[in-house]
Structure 1
Amino acid sequence: MGLRSNPSQRQRRLGAELRRLRELSGMSATDAGALAGLGRAHMSHIEMGRTAIPEDKLRALVRAYGCNSQGLIDALVVMGESTGRGWWSDYRDTQSSSVLDLAELEAANTAHRSFQWVYVHGLLQTPDYMRALFEAGQPDATLGELDRGVEFRLRRQEVLKGTSPLRFHAVIHEAALHMRLVSAEIMRQQIEHLVEMARLPNVCIQIMPFAGRAYPADFGTPFVIFEPSVPELGTVYVEHPVSPLFLGEQAQLAQFRATFETLSTVALPPLDPQPESMFSAKKDSLGLVQHLLYVL
């Protein structure tokens, strides 16, 4: 089997977790390779996600590393056996590998926690809002490319609905709702859409106001925490203008999880649309978005 030239995030994440478990055990890559009947170079490729590992060897290795969590072991096997193919595979010719990785992560995990301060999160965007952002960010894109981008993002949003929808918690800074990246009418529709999305039982949306309490100043970058059923296998997606980052070290996961808890604490209480009346006099996320709709 040839080596992968561009491993997916899932493949890299599997390799990184196998390396973490090996290092925790104190076993060298050479000894681990010998135990599994593999050379040191082969082990290195596995831990970089550049080649697959058979289920029997994976189970033998993690047991030798002292891992007794059946849930973690089974989750690693699932990651290793996954083909990585899904609806996103139809877009390989038009979407970047990082965006495809993002779609696969959204489909594979059970909960997401997101912080955004410039844009509304992609899973909560209206088609017109998406298109306006694409047109501003990709001025040379053809109409077909713009259509394909909107179509792809709408497909991603399907994880929020269905029989087993994703649990989604978004903290959105008020700044994102003031940005003149789209017209006032598109922003009005987008804010109204946020209210409608907040009606879903699996969606929690909080607004962080300008006039809020202390904000963790060391976190000015949008991020998403992908939470699987096995916490050790969580992944943080950090947006970056050059290339997004996918982080999976346990210390990084702990840092971002703690930061999100702080953000959700200092943000306004969640949007809570009232079926009988849209009026809210409380100082909460719904009251703020109602004010923004009034002044738009």
Structure 2
Amino acid sequence: MGLRSNPSQRQRRLGAELRRLRELSGMSATDAGALAGLGRAHMSHIEMGRTAIPEEKLRALAHAYGCNSQKLVDALVAMGRSTGKGWWTDYQDSLSASVLDLAELEASSTALRNFEWVYVHGLLQTPEYMRALFEIGNRDASPDELDRAVDFRLRRQEILKGDTPLVLHMVIHEAALHMQFVGAEIMRRQIEHLVDLSRLPHIEIQILPFTAQTYPAGFGTPFALFDSSAPELGTVHLEHPVAPLYLGDPAHLTRFTEAFEQLSTVALPPLDPEPESKFHARKDSLGLVQHLLYRM
């Protein structure tokens, strides 16, 4: 089997986690390869995500590395077994690999915590809001290309439905709700959509107001934290104009988890559109969005 020239995010993460476990154990790549009946070069390719590793060898290596978490081992095996094919495969002819990687990551995650300060997150967007953003971002795109991009994002939103939907906790800066590049009426309907989504038990939405007294230093960019069935496989996703970043080492996970906790603490209480919340005794996210809608 030839080496992968462009491993997916899942394949790179599997290799990186095996390397992390090996380094924690103090075992060299040469010794690990010998134990698994593989050469050092082969081990290097596995740890770079360039080639697959059979399940029995993966389990043997995890045991040799002293990994005592059966949940982590099983999750790594599942990553190795995955073909990477899903509904997103239908779009590989027209969308970038990084976009497909994001859809695969969302599909395999159990929860998502996200901070946005300019846009509403894609999983919460209305079709007309999506299309307006795509038109602004790619003015040369044909109507068919725009339709396909919108369709793809709507397909991503399917993970919010069903018996085991993705659990969301979103913190949105108030600035994102003032942006008029999509048009006032589109923004109005987008805000109303956020209120509707907040009725779902697995979706929590908070607004970070301009009047917030504190703010985690160094976090002036949106970020997403994806939870996995094994805590060690959590992933930080950072958008970037050139290429998105996927971070999975424990230090980054801790840093961004703490930042999100700070953001959710200083943000207004979550949107709560239930009837008993119609009259507010305190400032909260619903009161702020109602005020914004009134002014539009």
Q: Same fold (TM over 0.5)?
A: yes
Give 2:261's aligned amino acid. Answer: E
Which runs of structure 2 are paired with 1:148-227 in the superposition (5 Å)? 148-227=148-227
CA apart distance, 1:274: 1.5
Deviations 1:65-97 (A, max 9, x none): 011111111110000000111000000011111
Equivalent in the alignment of 1:10: 10
Give secondary structure in 1 for the equivalent of 2:2. coil
Give secondary structure in 1 for the equivalent of 2:118. coil
Give 2:239's aligned amino acid. Answer: E
Deviations 1:89-145 (A, max 9, x none): 000011111110110011101000000001000000000000000000000000000
Give secondary structure in 1 for the equivalent of 2:145. helix
Find runs of 4+ consecutive structure 1 residues off by over 6 angstroms.
none
Deviating more after overlay: 179-188 vs 272-281:
272-281
Is the aligned partner of 1:42 residue 2:46?
A: no
Give 1:68's aligned amino acid. Answer: N
Name the CA distance, whole Å, in 1 between partners of 2:278 and 2:33: 62
Is the aligned partner of 1:140 residue 2:140?
A: yes
Name the CA distance, whole Å, in 1 between partners of 2:144 and 2:173: 32
Q: Is the 8 A contact 1:239 1:245 kept in 2?
A: yes
Is the aligned partner of 1:62 residue 2:62?
A: yes
Name the CA distance, whole Å, in 2 between partners of 1:119 and 1:159: 20
Name the CA distance, whole Å, in 2 between partners of 1:279 and 1:188: 21
Is the aligned partner of 1:231 residue 2:209?
A: no
How many percent of aligned residue pairs carry the same amino acid? 75
Deviating more after overlay: 278-287 vs 43-52:
278-287
RMSD: 1.0
CA apart distance, 1:168: 0.4
Give secondary structure in 1 for the equivalent of 2:95. coil
CA apart distance, 1:179: 1.2
CA apart distance, 1:281: 5.3
Q: Is the 8 A contact 1:117 1:222 kept in 2?
A: yes
Name the CA distance, whole Å, in 2 between partners of 1:248 and 1:204: 24
Which runs of structure 2 are paired with 1:28-107 in the superposition (5 Å)? 28-107=28-107
Q: Is the 8 A contact 1:280 1:286 kept in 2?
A: no
Deviating more after overlay: 271-280 vs 149-158:
271-280
CA apart distance, 1:213: 2.0
Name the CA distance, whole Å, in 1 between partners of 2:23 and 2:180: 49
CA apart distance, 1:277: 6.8
Deviations 1:23-68 (A, max 9, x none): 0000010110011010111100000100000000000001000111
Q: TM-score, normalising length from structure 1?
A: 0.98
Q: Is the 8 A contact 1:199 1:272 kept in 2?
A: yes
Give 1:107's aligned amino acid. Answer: A
Unaligned runs of 5+ in 2: none
Q: Is the 8 A contact 1:281 1:287 kept in 2?
A: no
Name the CA distance, whole Å, in 1 between partners of 2:270 and 2:161: 19
Give 2:38's aligned amino acid. Answer: L
Equivalent in the alignment of 1:116: 116
CA apart distance, 1:279: 5.0
Give 1:40's aligned amino acid. Answer: R
Name the CA distance, whole Å, in 1 between partners of 2:134 and 2:246: 23
Equivalent in the alignment of 1:241: 241
Is the aligned partner of 1:262 residue 2:241?
A: no
Give secondary structure in 2 for the equivalent of 1:263. helix
Equivalent in the alignment of 1:125: 125
Name the CA distance, whole Å, in 2 between partners of 1:113 and 1:283: 23
Q: TM-score, normalising length from structure 2?
A: 0.98
